[in-house]
Amino acid sequence: MNARKVNCIALGLVLGLASSRAHAQYPGQTKEQTAVAVKAPIKAYSFNLSDVRMLSSPFKDNMDREGKWLLSLPTERLLHSFRVNAGLLTDKKTSPTKMPKPLGGWEGLDMELRGHSIGHILSGLAFQYASTGNAAFKLKSDSLVAGLAAVQKSLSEGGYLSAYPQNYIDRNIAGTSVWAPWYTQHKIFAGLTDAYWQTGNQQALEVEKGMAAWAYQKLAPLSPEQLAKMLRNEFGGMNDAFYNLYSITGDPQHLKLAEMFYHKAVLEPLEQGQDKLDKMHANTVIPKLVGEARAYELTADPKAQTAATFFWDDVVKNHTYAHGGNSDKEHFFQPGKISEHLTGNTGETCNTYNMLKLTRHLFTWNPDAKYADYYEQALYNHILGQQDPKTGMVSYFSPMLPGAYRLYSTPDQSFWCCVGSGFESHSKYGEAIYYHGDKDLYVNLFIPSELNWTERGVKVLQTTRYPEEATTRLTIETKKPLAMPLHLRYPAWASNGVTLKVNGKAVAVKQQPGSYITLNRTWKSGDKVELTYPMALRVVATPDNPKKAAFAYGPIILAGEMGTAGLTGTAPYHDPADPYQYYGYDYHVPADLVHTLRTNTGTVTDWLKPVTGQPLTFQTTAVTAAAGITLVPYYKAHRERYVVYWDLQ
């Protein structure tokens, strides 16, 4: 029995430990849905998505496009592979002409990962419902949950539920070849949890508890050696899923299930402050740490806190590209060796989705501005830019190879993992704009939105065109004067200082970039705060080679526009027979493509000049070719070749 198990038993974790703060890290989980109190000290709390309404912005545009995609996917097609697995579509009464068309790509009936997308979709629908209040999202979610419940009942395998037969799990346990069946299970568990938390669907919880009962009967008899063999394969965030379920039910079996997915070989080095990530599959590792973060919150295990904190610090410092993403060909590499991994297979979007999950946990333990700074970096430059604004389709990688370009999914024939995480990412932009303490409020992101903090009777309206302008405006609305410390993030990139006004009067700021400006006052309805962070150009060099660098303006990474010569159509690397064909995708970068700048004299403001009348747009003055190159925000570099990292001469 490991130390965490002993700890938990000694603490007497049972039903009835509900706390008003027990659900702080998972917005949407109400007090009534909470059976186990958070035991770790929490300093900042999340708002529920329903407390924040997104206003007009590129984020809102992405969210709306994603919502339309979610609603457009027919329920019958999403459930098809599950019903096939349960034998529900094989009787003579089913006319072939009435059979729904199977989904393609990674959801094809011949794909071992089939079924993972429905979990992401349940989460995405739940987030859209909470974010917008649009009942269409709940209605679709409810229909999917009901369909899954019918499949589970028909299978009659002790609560087992999947789009593939149970022998996939048996193969995983035996250590024989199979893709990642527990990864798929995780997505379904997580989707059902979100449906329960965000939409109040009790059936979702009952289905999930049935799945957990099956999992416990499956895994409880296994020896430590058998479990260790099973955990060698990718299992997503099964530990996180079971910790979340345990927080809802208080069932000791759910806690034991979470502990069964403690991957000693990966986590122990991190607990000891060791980076042994080289060659590890990044998106196999990151969710384990999200689960460890949840373990810390529910058990107060200090080793889990150490592992999660060290991992985050290490990855952000040593494995992260300028846009906030990480990995090459989905794998970590030697610490700091960014310049050696500027390929066409960099920045798997799922990794960033999971790093942002981890970031939110860490911020609630320690509301340090560095977590909010990273969140902004990754959200604006990677997540926002994943979605093609023309079609709403999304990319898998964000290639850092000079002259490469984004490759997009299709509406119903791709369903890569990054399509699934994209259903979530673009549906929950309101999750990290604001946090709160018992009385104080944090403003972490400068995104047009309206916060309704009902417990304190205050609303905050945030209006801005940031990052296309440097100023953000906050308007306070309250029925009576309210004492509320207001913490405004002072970004680390804001080297040109800050201008702060309250009700039109300048306020002196003593804090430095990379911290919070705190306004400790009693607010009246109609009070206004105006916050301006002048942006500046900066060089973002790779850690291992100062002569390979990206450029940023304020928080925004810039990309050089390189035209469309030789671009192919949508999702050119998708081959149903070879789901990993993109590893060998040839971008056919023109031999004469320029990605070198003469920088031996002057500074970055000499090498790049702003284009009049075009926000966040610059022109090079120091390229080796005769003509200048236009640089735009990386999140806007769609359907064209680009350069993010330049060779500096």
CB 236 within 8 A of CB 257: no
- In this predicted structure, the answer to whether residue 17 has a pLDDT above a threshold of 80 is no
Sign, CA dihedral 105-109-110-112, equals positive
Domain annotation covers residue 227: no
What proportion of the chain, given as a percentage, has pLDDT over 70?
91
Mean pLDDT of the chain: 92
- In this predicted structure, the answer to whether residue 20 has a pLDDT above a threshold of 80 is no
C-alpha pair distances (Å), 484 with each of 367, 456, 458: 17, 9, 10
- pLDDT tens by residue, 119-163: 999 999 999 999 999 999 999 999 999 999 999 999 999 999 999
Contacting residues for 472 by C-beta, under 8 A, at least 6 apart: 446, 462, 463, 464, 466, 530, 531, 532
- pLDDT tens by residue, 38-69: 999 999 999 999 999 999 999 999 999 999 99
> Among 500, 532, 564, which residue terminates a domain?
532
**Does residue 482 sit in helix, strand or coil?**
strand
Whether 593 and 644 map to the same domain: the answer is: yes
Whether 579 and 634 map to the same domain: the answer is: yes
Whether 541 and 642 map to the same domain: the answer is: yes
Tell me, what's the pLDDT at 10? 33
Residue 519: CATH number of its domain: 2.60.40.1180
Domain annotation covers residue 402: no
Domain annotation covers residue 619: yes
Domain annotation covers residue 589: yes
CA distance 238 to 187: 9
CA distance 27 to 434: 12
- pLDDT tens by residue, 81-97: 999 999 998 644 555 55
Whether 602 and 619 map to the same domain: the answer is: yes
Whether 474 and 570 map to the same domain: the answer is: no
Whether 502 and 562 map to the same domain: the answer is: no
CA distance 439 to 419: 38
Structure tokens that stand for 85 in this block? 């697995």
Tell me, what's the pLDDT at 263? 98
Using 50, 70 and 90 to split pLDDT, how confident is the model at 512?
A: very high
Whether 501 and 560 map to the same domain: the answer is: no
> Among 480, 506, 532, which residue terminates a domain?
532
Residue 588, φ and ψ in degrees, nearest 5: 50, 50
CB 362 within 8 A of CB 308: yes
Domain annotation covers residue 482: yes
Tell me, what's the pLDDT at 403? 96
- pLDDT tens by residue, 180-213: 999 999 999 999 999 999 999 999 999 999 999 9
CA distance 596 to 88: 60
**Sheet of 441-443, strands arranged across:** 45-46, 434-436, 441-443, 486-490, 515-519
Quote the number of domains for the chain: 2
Domain annotation covers residue 369: no
CA distance 216 to 222: 10
- pLDDT tens by residue, 310-319: 999 999 999 9
Using 50, 70 and 90 to split pLDDT, how confident is the model at 255?
A: very high
Using 50, 70 and 90 to split pLDDT, how confident is the model at 581?
A: low
Sign, CA dihedral 153-154-157-162, equals negative
Average pLDDT over residues 590-603: 92
Whether 579 and 484 map to the same domain: the answer is: no
- pLDDT tens by residue, 280-294: 999 999 999 999 999
Question: Pick from 381, 369, 360, 445: which is nearest to 54 by CA?
Answer: 445
> Among 509, 532, 555, which residue terminates a domain?
532
How many residues does the structure list for the chain?
649
Whether 621 and 558 map to the same domain: the answer is: yes
Whether 548 and 634 map to the same domain: the answer is: yes
For residue 460, the enclosing domain spans: 435-532
Tell me, what's the pLDDT at 566? 85
CB 308 within 8 A of CB 292: yes
**Does residue 186 sit in helix, strand or coil?**
helix
What proportion of the chain, given as a percentage, has pLDDT over 90?
87
Whole-model pTM over 0.85: yes
Tell me, what's the pLDDT at 625? 66
Domain annotation covers residue 606: yes
Whether 543 and 522 map to the same domain: the answer is: no
Domain annotation covers residue 209: no
Whether 641 and 547 map to the same domain: the answer is: yes
